[in-house]
Each structure stands twice: as structure tokens, then as C-alpha cells.
């Protein structure tokens, strides 16, 4: 029963953060690896599956509010498809510990940059 609560809590927090456009994977991946002992590859794969419906809902809201620049969108989708395939191939062939350190380093760099960024 406690594990069901953990899954629910992780889903709620990562869903809310994802809907805000902040990247639910920043919560979901560490939660799955630290709390539920998932491998880094499994956590990142699950994050991608969870991302599809949450991103779809968030996209509908942002389209309705006129926040999407369509010309920019097409270029980003094409680049994203190509590099997502490349990144996936790299990730499945890396040692889980190394992948975890790379992901942690990425989160650290993003977090530190946000602390020192001048916001308008």
C-alpha cells in the first residue's frame, strides 16, 4: 500500500511540474532511481512514456492560449526527432552508473544556471 502511495505522489509531482513546462523528468527520474531502485535506463524510458500524455495535455492548453510559434515548432520537432533517436541509442549502450552521473551533472548545471540567471 505504501508503494502505491509513492507511485501516486511521484506521478502527481512530476505531472504538475511537467504541465508547467519545467520538465517532470527532473522529478520523475531521480524519484524512480532513488525511491524505487529503478535503473537509470528504466527510469529514463518510463519518463519518456509518461511524457507523451502529459506533454499532449500541456500542448493543448498552450495552443489554446496562443503560446506556440508554429514556424519555430516545425524546426524543433524535426531536430528533436533526429537527436532523440541518437540520444536513445547512446543511453541504452551506456553503463547505468555513468548515465546516472551524466544526468545528475546535467541537472546540476541547469540548476546552477537558473540560480544566477537574470529573470525579466
Whether the Cβ atoms of residue 66 and residue 72 lie closer than 8 Å to each other = no
Residues 6+ apart with CB under 8 A from 6: 35, 36
State the pTM of this model: 0.65
Q: Quick one: pLDDT at residue 1?
A: 67
Distance CA 21, CA 76 (A): 16
Tell me which residue of 85, 86, 105 sits closest to 40, measured CA to CA.
105
At 81, the pLDDT band (50, 70, 90 cuts) reads very high
Q: How far is CA 9 from CA 32, 54, 59, in A?
A: 11, 15, 23
Cβ atoms of 46 and 64 within 8 Å: the answer is no
Amino acid at each position: 500500500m505504501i508503494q502505491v502511495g509513492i507511485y501516486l505522489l511521484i506521478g502527481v509531482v512530476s505531472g504538475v511540474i511537467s504541465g508547467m513546462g519545467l520538465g517532470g523528468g527532473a522529478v520523475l527520474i531521480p524519484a524512480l532511481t532513488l525511491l524505487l531502485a529503478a535503473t537509470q535506463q528504466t527510469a529514463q524510458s518510463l519518463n519518456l512514456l509518461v511524457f507523451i500524455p502529459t506533454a499532449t495535455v500541456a500542448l493543448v492548453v498552450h495552443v489554446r492560449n496562443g503560446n506556440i510559434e508554429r514556424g519555430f515548432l516545425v524546426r524543433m520537432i524535426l531536430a528533436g526527432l533526429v537527436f532523440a533517436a541518437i540520444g536513445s541509442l547512446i543511453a541504452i549502450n551506456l553503463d547505468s552508473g555513468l548515465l546516472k552521473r551524466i544526468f545528475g551533472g546535467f541537472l546540476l548545471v541547469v540548476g546552477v544556471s537558473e540560480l544566477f540567471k537574470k529573470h525579466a
